[in-house]
Amino acid sequence: MNGFERRRFLQKTLAAAAALSLSSITPSHAAITLETIRGRSPMRKGPVKQALVTWYSQTGMTERIGRLVAKRLEKSGATVFFDDMRSVDAARMKGMDLIVVGSPVFYYDTPDYVKRFIQTLPDLTGTPVAAYVTFGGPEGNQHNAACNILAALSDKGAVPVGLRSFMNMSTFPLAWSEKKVHHKTWMNRNLPDAHTYEEARRYAAHLVNQVASGTAFVAKRNLTLREMATWVRPIWWTKKLVRNHGIDQKVCIGCGLCEEKCPAGAIDIGAFTIDRHVCELCFGCINNCPVQAVTMNYNGERVFGYPEFMKRKKLSIIEPEEVQKTPA
Ligand SMILES: Cc1cc2nc3c(=O)[nH]c(=O)nc-3n(C[C@H](O)[C@H](O)[C@H](O)COP(=O)(O)O)c2cc1C
């Protein structure tokens, strides 16, 4: 880093730290609305005969809830198409009676990949749409992140019918190290649980009712200090704090999972390289590598991914009965 970069880094870090520390003293009732999100065209109401559920998921949390919502919609009599955003056929979205989009919260925001995905969708005028986010919080601006999804879908002409946030253990690898685990991450080590799954089922049933009765949902994106923190791009300063992000050729088995999971196309597994300028620091590579060949250092310690963390701490997730398959 040169002198200019260092000054900008310090300025951004201080602004973010100030925003984060002030969040604890913000009265919850003092909400300032940044954006009101509503459908701009009449909603197609009626029974949900065909629905599509799609998610972006790096470690399976958002996928699990998406599959559960899909199964519950099927139980209501709908034919449901469900898949990861990377595999879903966007053209299929036209003519759906309900579309549900799920995303994790990354850096207090909706990941860029999800925003880009929604931009590629066809015109969805009148289509009922719902959003959900999974997050590791307790803080995390999750309501606003879910609002961003609805706002982008509403720009496509779709009509919001619901929004939900589901808390689970964070999969953010900088939250743990060899020596310690962030207490908020540890606090949520048993989530998702049966209550989370029941909430997801209820949400799906609620969406069916919303569409049947033609009841639109109006979302408000509020000014929060964590929303302000997104303005200084926390990803930018986090990137400055990690070192040695690469692939250890000696350990790599060439399975290509890291390249497949990278939402930014930053990995060339043939050349064992990661383009750090393109990288969105989602940790998808570290969180999915089966042999820990992806290297990274933080605070002078080696970073290890979510499956390895779960293994070391002897933790596991109890799957909902309807969901047979979820990746580790
Ligand atoms: C890069 C990254 C950034 C994250 N940022 C936040 C955050 O700002 N707020 C929050 O509550 N959780 C955050 N988390 C936790 C995730 O939102 C949470 O673990 C999510 O359920 C992961 O979903 P997935 O398994 O479907 O990818 C972050 C996790 C990662 C990997």
User: Residue 144 Cα, ligand 1 centroid: separation in angstroms?
Assistant: 14
Q: Does residue 297 come out as left (phi exceeding 0), alpha (psi in the -120 to 50 range) or beta?
A: beta
- pLDDT at site 25: 44
Asked if residue 263 has its Cβ within 6 Å of ligand 1, the reply is no
Of 137, 191, 140, 133, nearest in space to 162 by CA: 133
- pLDDT at site 323: 87
Question: Hey, whose CA ends up nearest to atom 16 of ligand 1?
Answer: 135
User: Residue 213 Cα, ligand 1 centroid: separation in angstroms?
Assistant: 34
**Rounded to whole angstroms, how far apart are CA atoms 221 and 143?**
7
Mean pLDDT within 64-76: 98
Q: Where is average pLDDT lowest: 47-61, 207-221, 314-328?
A: 314-328
**Can you state the percent helix, strand and coil of the chain, rounding each to 5?**
40, 20, 40
Asked if residue 135 has its Cβ within 6 Å of ligand 1, the reply is yes
- pLDDT at site 90: 86
**Rounded to whole angstroms, how far apart are CA atoms 6 and 24?**
28
Here the tokens at position 108 are 């207090």
Judged against a pLDDT cut of 50, whether residue 5 lies above it is answered with: yes
Per the prediction, the chain carries an average pLDDT of 91
Sketch out the chain's domains with CATH numbers. 11-229 (3.40.50.360), 233-312 (3.30.70.20)
Atom of ligand 1 nearest to the CA of 166: 21
User: Residue 59 Cα, ligand 1 centroid: separation in angstroms?
Assistant: 9
Which spans in 214-264 are helix H? 225-231, 234-241, 257-261
Cis peptide bond upstream of 173, omega within 30: no
Asked if residue 108 has its Cβ within 6 Å of ligand 1, the reply is yes
Q: How confident is the model at residue 17 (pLDDT cuts 50, 70, 90)?
A: low
- pLDDT at site 38: 94
pLDDT digits (tens, 9 = 90+) for 222-231: 999 899 989 9
Q: How far is CA 285 from CA 171, 182, 327, in A?
A: 12, 21, 14
Alpha-carbon dihedral of residues 98, 261, 328, 141, nearest 10 degrees?
-60
DSSP annotation of 102 reads: E
Judged against a pLDDT cut of 90, whether residue 23 lies above it is answered with: no
User: Residue 77 Cα, ligand 1 centroid: separation in angstroms?
Assistant: 32
Q: Which residue has the higher pLDDT, 40 or 24?
A: 40
pLDDT digits (tens, 9 = 90+) for 144-197: 999 999 999 999 999 999 999 999 999 999 999 998 999 999 999 999 999 999
**Rounded to whole angstroms, how far apart are CA atoms 181 and 260?**
28
**Rounded to whole angstroms, how far apart are CA atoms 308 and 313?**
9
Probe residue for ligand 1, chosen from 55, 59, 65, 135 as the CB with the greatest number of ligand atoms within 8 Å: 135
User: Residue 281 Cα, ligand 1 centroid: separation in angstroms?
Assistant: 11
Probe residue for ligand 1, chosen from 170, 228, 230 as the CB with the greatest number of ligand atoms within 8 Å: 170
Mean pLDDT within 126-130: 98
Probe residue for ligand 1, chosen from 172, 230, 308 as the CB with the greatest number of ligand atoms within 8 Å: 172
Q: What are the φ/ψ torsions at residue 101 (nearest 5 degrees)? A: -120, 125
Beta-carbon count within 10 A of 163 CB = 19
- pLDDT at site 24: 46
Exposure string for 80-114, b = 16+ CB within 10 A, e = fewer: bbbbebeebeeeebeebbbbbbbbbbbbbbbbebb
The span from the first CA to the last CA of the chain, in angstroms, equals 37
DSSP annotation of 81 reads: E
Residues in Cβ contact with 31 at an 8 Å cutoff, skipping those fewer than 6 apart: 220, 222, 223
Q: Which residue has the higher pLDDT, 234 or 67?
A: 67
Atom of ligand 1 nearest to the CA of 282: 1
Atom of ligand 1 nearest to the CA of 58: 27
Asked if residue 234 has its Cβ within 6 Å of ligand 1, the reply is no
